A and B are shown apart, each in its own frame.
Chain A
Amino acid sequence: MQVTRYVLYDILKSKVILAYTLFLFLVSFSLFQLEEDGGKAILSLLTIVLLVTPLISMVFSTIHYYNSYEFMELMLSQPLGRTRILLSEYAGAALSLLAAFLLGVGIPILFFAADSTGFALLFTGTALTLIFTSIAFLAAVCSRDKARGIGIALLIWFYFALIYDGLLMMLLFSFSDYPMEKFTLLLSALNPVDLARIFIMLQLDVKCPHGLYWCCLPGFLWQHCWHRVYSRHYANLDIHSPISGSTSL
Chain B
Amino acid sequence: MRLFFTYLFLLVFASSRAGITPVSGKLQKAIDSAKPGDTLLLKKGVYREGTIRLTKSLTLLGEKGATLDGENKYEILHISGHDIVVSNIQFQYAGYSALDDYAAIKLIDANRVILENNTVLHAYFAIHISNTYNSIVRNNIISGKPKSEQLTGNGIHLWKCQNALIEKNKITGHRDGIYFEFVTESTIRDNTSEKNIRYGLHFMFSHNDKYFSNIFRNNGAGVAVMYSKKVVMHKNLFEENWGASAYGILLKEISDSEIEQNYFIKNTVGIFMEGSSRIKIGNNQFSNNGWAVRVQASCDDNEFYQNNFQGNSFDIATNGRLVLNSFTGNYWDKYEGYDLNRDGIGDVPFHPVSMYAMMVEQNPTTLILMRSFIVSLLDKAEKAMPALTPIDLNDSKPHMKPHKL
Contacts and interface: CB of A to CB of B under 8 A. Distances in A.
Interface residues of B, number: 17
Given A37-B311, A40-B311, A206-B242, A173 B363 contact: yes
Nearest to A178: B365
A46 B374 contact: no
B363 A43 contact: no
Given A172-B363, A181-B365, A206-B242, A197 B311 contact: no
A194 interface: yes
Contacts of A43: 371
Contacts of A37: 311
A39 B369 contact: no
Contacts of B363: 172-173, 176
Interface string A38-71: 0110010011001100000000000000000000
A169 B371 contact: no
Contacts of A184: 365, 368
B373 interface: yes
B311 A180 contact: no
B366 A172 contact: yes
Given A39-B311, A172-B363, A46 B368 contact: no
A169 B242 CA distance: 26
Interface in A152-184: 161-162, 165-166, 168-169, 172-173, 176, 180-181, 184
A159 to B, nearest CB: 12
A201 interface: yes
A176 B364 CA distance: 9
A60 to B, nearest CB: 20
B281 to A, nearest CB: 24
Contacts of B33: none
A188 interface: yes
Interface in B367-385: 368-377
Interface string B122-138: 00000000000000000
Given A37-B311, A40-B311, A50 B373 contact: yes
Contacts of B362: 176
A185 interface: yes
A99 interface: no
Contacts of B373: 47, 50-51, 161-162, 165
A194 B372 contact: yes
A117 B226 CA distance: 38
Nearest to B377: A162
A193 B372 CA distance: 9
B372 A197 contact: yes
A39 B377 CA distance: 22
A115 to B, nearest CB: 15
Nearest to B243: A206
Contacts of A161: 373
A165 B363 CA distance: 15
Interface in B100-130: none
A172 B375 CA distance: 14
A151 to B, nearest CB: 20
Contacts of B370: 197, 201
A8 to B, nearest CB: 32
Contacts of A168: 368-369
B366 A47 contact: no
Contacts of B371: 43, 46-47, 197, 201
A49 to B, nearest CB: 12
A186 to B, nearest CB: 11
Contacts of B242: 206
A169 B371 CA distance: 13
B365 A180 contact: yes
Interface in B336-368: 362-363, 365-366, 368
Interface string A105-129: 0000000000000000000000000
Interface in B275-331: 288, 311
A166 B242 CA distance: 29
Interface string B195-231: 0000000000000000000000000000000000000
Contacts of A169: 366, 369, 374
A201 B288 CA distance: 13
Nearest to A39: B311
A31 interface: no
A188 B368 contact: yes
A185 B374 contact: no
Contacts of A162: 373-374, 377
A165 B365 contact: no
A40 B362 CA distance: 27
B368 to A, nearest CB: 5
Given A172-B363, A173-B363, A165 B369 contact: yes
A212 to B, nearest CB: 16
Contacts of A188: 368
Nearest to A206: B242
A198 interface: yes
A144 to B, nearest CB: 32
A198 B372 CA distance: 9
Contacts of A173: 363, 366
Given A47-B373, A169-B369, 17 more contacts: A37-B311, A39-B311, A47-B371, A47-B376, A162-B377, A165-B369, A165-B372, A169-B366, A172-B363, A172-B365, A173-B363, A173-B366, A176-B362, A180-B365, A197-B371, A197-B372, A201-B370
Interface of A: 37, 39-40, 43, 46-47, 50-51, 161-162, 165-166, 168-169, 172-173, 176, 180-181, 184-185, 188, 193-194, 197-198, 201, 206
Interface of B: 242, 288, 311, 362-363, 365-366, 368-377
- 5 tightest A-B CB contacts, nearest first: A165-B374, A165-B372, A176-B363, A180-B365, A184-B368
